[in-house]
Structure 1
Amino acid sequence: MFQGALQSGTVASMDFPRKILYCFWWGLRNLSSFGSNLQTSPHIWENCFAVLTSISGLLLFMYFLGRLQMYMQWEASRQLDEAKKLEEYNKWRQYEMKAKKGKIHEWIDRNPRLKEKEKLIISEVNRMFAENKDIDAENPLRHLPMFTRRKILSHLCLPLLQTVPLLRNESEDALKLISCDFLKQVYYNENSYIVREGEPLDALLFITRGIVWTYTTSPAHRQTGRLKTDDFYGVELLEWVFNSPSLPDPSNLPFSTRTLRCHTKVEAFALTAGNIQHMLYLHWSKFSKFRGTDSYLV
């Protein structure tokens, strides 16, 4: 059994690394073959060593198979858990999408002008859901792609802007500019105040949903009224800007002549004083009042 080691001179060699490498290779070869390469003499201890080598090789092989089987079972269990989690997530996602689509349909129903764009909106919403993008069902407009959003804003806001006397004769391009780039959506809770009588008026407001009470508290001129869908308030702000020979001082805003208090939840578009000034600073030539002038900034 040890004839190879004796003949190779490994036993008598003083090269320690050589001995270690040879012994390691010899043990690995015989363990991996379960001792089948060992040729023993009739000597009892030599045979016992060969038997021990065979048993050790077999035990190591069985241990390896056991570990491999455990790993395969663990991997299969992990994949099954992931599949279940994915299935649960997909079910939850479908439920969430269904609920959000219902709310989006309600949002469209609250805005009659959106009915004409319903197919476009739902198509974009479906595409976003397919791409696993999140969307606010209460206000999906701000999540839509820019081109689609601008198209819908123009459709929603052009009729509102055309009801304002100062804007009625403006070009469609000018009104689209206001609709898409300078109007912003605002929300007010029930019973909240939008502006009080005597406070600076900093926005032209277009109501798209809800009811707003308006009233004055002056003893000599007590008046009450209400604003509903498609009504607007704050035209004095436009007059303040349009009737000024140059950009007016934002610290000198006109004052509100009425108090506005929400009777219900209110959705609206607001054209703020800052946005009006910024718009005219950049695009004064688009508006008929200033088209014949060299500048509006003097």
Structure 2
Amino acid sequence: MRQPAQTCTPAKRLKALLNNRSATAAPGCHDPLGARLIAQAGFDAVSVSGYSVAASHGVPDIGLISGTQMTAQAIAIADAVTLPVVADADTGYGGVNNIAATIKAYERGGVAALHLEDQVNPKRCGAMASKALVSDEEMSQRLRAAVAARHDMLIIGRTDALTIAGLPETIRRCQCMADSGVDAVMVPSLSSLEDIERVVRASPVPVLHTVAETVRPVFTQSELQSTGLGMVLYSISLIQAIVHVQRALLSELKHKGSTAAFIDVMLPLHQLTELLDAKQYAEFESQILGNAR
């Protein structure tokens, strides 16, 4: 159920968070339930991970999820919470007209920001091999199309240059993206605080960092804040934990014939029902049906 409108738009609230340069944590999710949990936990923003959405469909993050699917999922997540939502839009799902249509669809659905990457199609998850980058010209065209099509939503340029061409080229690409009019840049695969600081110092716009706990070193929020980052996306933390717990529970059931060992880590049914706002729906139904009598 859509939340009440607020006078300050999600995009404006997100822009303030980014400009504060305090490494705001934005956990990632693939569905509205995850977004509700993020909001309930007290975070200030939600990120929609393309990797997680693909994984939830049972496929790898190699461009198999369409723009229509990603748009629908991002809109459903934005509809579930009042927090600003930062969504993955891969390479924009086509040429500049497709990119413009993507921007307009995300924005109509209440998404506060999206990020576009500089990979060639078909794209790959940033942690995968066989990635390739588009030219500066094509990258700029994508971003300028996005900026021209948006009204209030923020546009974030993402570069996957680090593992392909190194840090100097990554910094140069960030600067080119800023020249194209983006509100922020996103640099996956940074593995040291020193490298993060170098990117932040060189970037004319706020920088987003992505955390991958099982692949790269893990830093505390305090350490990340000291670098001047605008935001930190914990893009796949939730789905990795979800899959681990589900696999363990299924193994227990299969081999021991019971889920009793997992009762302590299960959310009680009444709490899950509360999380889903069942009471709010029941009250609305009672009000409407009561007035009809």
Fold shared, TM-score > 0.5 on shorter chain: no
Instruction: With the length of structure 1 as denominator, give the TM-score of the two structures.
Output: 0.23
Q: Which has the higher contact order (CA 8 A, sep 6+)?
A: 2
Instruction: With the length of structure 2 as denominator, give the TM-score of the two structures.
Output: 0.24
| Greater per-residue helix proportion | 1
